[in-house]
Chains A and B, each alone.
Chain A
Amino acid sequence: AQSVTQLGSHVSVSEGALVLLRCNYSSSVPPYLFWYVQYPNQGLQLLLKYTSAATLVKGINGFEAEFKKSETSFHLTKPSAHMSDAAEYFCAVSDQGSQGNLIFGKGTKLSVKP
């Protein structure tokens, strides 16, 4: 069965610092991987996705993620954090069924200190 593990339920960085949110996946087939962001009291917004094309994926708001098959990882990074990046971030893998249900990690809350 496919699964996603997000290391660190809470990450705190200073404004301007590097953001690194970790995601490891388990899948017996080439996965489709996603990062979503959830701002307080809002829905989920797609940040970026990996669908077996380029291993370095660029998303919105300056975020990017690199797919590393050897490490089964899909970590999310941003060179310089902004206060507006404070939110909950979810990594997800699409399951192997025909409907492509998403299997989510437990989320990482990002706090940004001034």
Chain B
Amino acid sequence: DTAVSQTPKYLVTQMGNDKSIKCEQNLGHDTMYWYKQDSKKFLKIMFSYNNKELIINETVPNRFSPKSPDKAHLNLHINSLELGDSAVYFCASSPSGTKTQYFGPGTRLLVL
């Protein structure tokens, strides 16, 4: 299937741990994104990245870092997890020349 996929779907971990969420798209898109959805369902951009430019939302703590091994992947690494990091994290991608984004199924992170 052509899609945006994320792993894992659920992630439960302890405060202070380091974790990564993986995102892959096989749509051939040039730009990938990470969004955070909080407990009130509010969605906010964290990062956007293509092979030329990484744009970081200034409100994102530097404990969060995107890592792109290649054009089809944009992983999210989180250091020293905090309770407030509990949320659903969505990856998305879009083709060049359009502003339409296609979303992955989300990763539900719970920090205890």
Contacts and interface: CB of A to CB of B under 8 A. Distances in A.
Contacts of B92: 44, 102
Given A42-B105, A51-B99, A100 B44 contact: no
B44 A104 contact: yes
Contacts of A32: 99
Nearest to B43: A104
B58 interface: no
Contacts of B101: 34, 46, 100, 102
B36 to A, nearest CB: 11
B105 A99 contact: no
A46 B102 contact: yes
Size category of the B interface is: 20 to 34
Nearest to A90: B43
Interface in B34-52: 35, 40-45, 48-50
A101 B105 contact: no
Contacts of A46: 100-102
Interface in A64-114: 88, 90, 94, 97-104, 106-107
A74 to B, nearest CB: 14
A106 B19 CA distance: 28
A99 B55 contact: yes
Given A32-B99, A43-B104, A99 B31 contact: yes
Interface of B: 31, 33, 35, 40-45, 48-50, 53, 55, 90, 92, 94, 98-106
Interface of A: 32, 34, 36, 38, 42-46, 49, 51, 88, 90, 94, 97-104, 106-107
8 contacts: A34-B101, A43-B105, A49-B100, A99-B50, A104-B42, A106-B41, A107-B41, A107-B42
Nearest first, the 9 closest Cβ-Cβ pairs linking A and B are: A99-B48, A100-B99, A94-B99, A44-B103, A104-B43, A43-B105, A101-B45, A32-B99, A43-B103
